[in-house]
Amino acid sequence: MADIIIRANVKNIPLSVKKIAPVLDLIRGHNAQYALQELKLVNKKAAHYAAKVIRSAIANAENNFKLDPSKLTIYRIWATDGTKRLKKRGHGGAHGRIRIIRNYRANIFVELRYGA
């Protein structure tokens, strides 16, 4: 049986990519269920969202493809920029200027590989 790739994503989470990337680096290449156990020990807000997208991909594999979740490994996992929310007010910047407040959001994508 050839390798099967299962995909899932979570969009517009209220964190920047810069804060999510180190958490994703911890679990890349690991078994999916082992990665969920690791993420429970990480004291970061990004770990909650990473676990959410992995659980979603595992559920896709079980329900859509009838695959055994113990044989799933994290093939690729990455974060991209989401929409930026600009607030109508600002705060002081250099030389007496006003700087607009930006709220960053991110998207997390995961691909799980099923292999014997």
In a domain, 89, yes or no: no
CA dihedral 30, 31, 36, 40 (to 10 degrees): -50
Q: What angle do CA 62, 80, 34 make, to 5 degrees?
A: 40
Model confidence pTM above 0.95: no
Percentage, residues of the chain above pLDDT 90:
82
Evaluate if residue 65 carries a pLDDT over 60: yes
Q: What is the pLDDT of residues 82-98, one digit of tens each?
A: 998 887 788 889 999 98
Confirm whether 65 is domain-assigned. yes
- Specify the amino acid at residue 89: R
Q: Residue 70: which CATH number?
A: 3.90.470.10
What is the reported pLDDT for 85? Answer: 83
> Is 88 within a domain?
no
Structural domain boundaries enclosing 44: 4-78+107-114
Lowest mean pLDDT among 57-61, 77-81, 84-88: 84-88
- Overall number of domains in the chain: 1
